[in-house]
Structure 1
Amino acid sequence: MRQNNSAQPRPAKKARLKLLATACGIQNEAGLASLQFASMSPTVEEPASGHSTRRSQGGAMNRKTALIAIAGAFAALGILAALVGPSCGNVKSVERIARATDLYSKGDIDDAFNAVESEFASGFKGCTLDELRYDDEVESKFLDEMLAHEQKGKGDLIVVLSEFTTDWRAADEGFSPNDRYEGWQWILTRPSQDAPWKVVDWGY
């Protein structure tokens, strides 16, 4: 069984205490015992303080590392999103060629263009709409079809031509990847002039 000697002063230390007691004029046992008790009072050790400082610094470093990791993750997500692009059709830079005709005003045509862009943006993944066109030439090309629709009492019909490009994701929509489509038709109808246009069909 080990003996706890921490409470007993070492011989060299005990001799120093006697010398100190003599110098201070302490000669009785009670005074000597008080001096011995004072010498055993705990003190703050520097290594422990240093360890606490290192622990604090380590915690700060861990927080900094975590913040850097989070920032790196967000940056990676941003790069990935930029590479992948929008999940639906891109209509950010559409060139509009709209000229009033005998049948429709420029406002009518612009409303039709808005409906086409909305339909394109809701689907057509991997496709970028480059141009929308309606003018006298387009109208004359589809005039018989538009007049026949009107004569049947079904309201107005308009055919808008478009051009768009595709990337690798467009294969999911049935288009050829990295290709350009020209003369793509959009057929819209409305029951009256005050009603909004509605896309009813598209294609060649």
Structure 2
Amino acid sequence: MAKVGYIMATSQYDKLEEDRKWMNEFGCVRIIEESDDNERHRPLWKQLMAALQRGDELVIPKFSNALRGSRELAIFLEFCRVKVIRIISIHDRIDSSNILFPETKPSDVLVMMGSLPDEVLALRKSAEHVIKLQEKMIVSLPPVSASKMQKLDREKTVVNLYVAGHPIDEIWRASGFRSRSSVFRILNKHGIKLNRGNHSGPIKKRDTK
């Protein structure tokens, strides 16, 4: 088991040093800090999800700091349930193992879930505002569209989770695809050799007859 901390360290976040100290004192072997310009796609968070192993402990400042909405919260909680990962949210005062924060009540958890969308939106607007202020008027290549970037990120997540050893069903749930076949399609597209039990060897084309 390993204790790992994660912080979305936007420039407007004023509790960074406090959170670092808390995580270090708790015994985190590593504290991952995501920067402003990665607020939308969060590559370090996705890498962390792929690296977590059964029984690890994840420390975050708040759920709204680590996640980008209610849908991601549901996927994240299911992922942690399956992998038996302990979640500790410092400022929400929530510990999934019920060891820390004994004063936290179910109503407090419901308030956190209800306020998550507004808090995430505020964090996102703050990060986007800083990025716009830092931008310079330079000639550059046409930007990749948001939808295309989201698609690439989802494909990268599928590949990373499979390479990290996660079962197909877990990858399917984490990816957000409607069908498991989409997971196999992505793995096939990126040339990943299947090696999970019944799912091994090259992906065969369906008989169209």
More strand by share: 1
Determine if the TM-score, normalized by the shorter chain, exceeds 0.5: no
TM-score w.r.t. the length of structure 1 is: 0.17
Greater relative CO, 1 or 2 (CA 8 Å, sep 6+): 2
TM-score w.r.t. the length of structure 2 is: 0.17
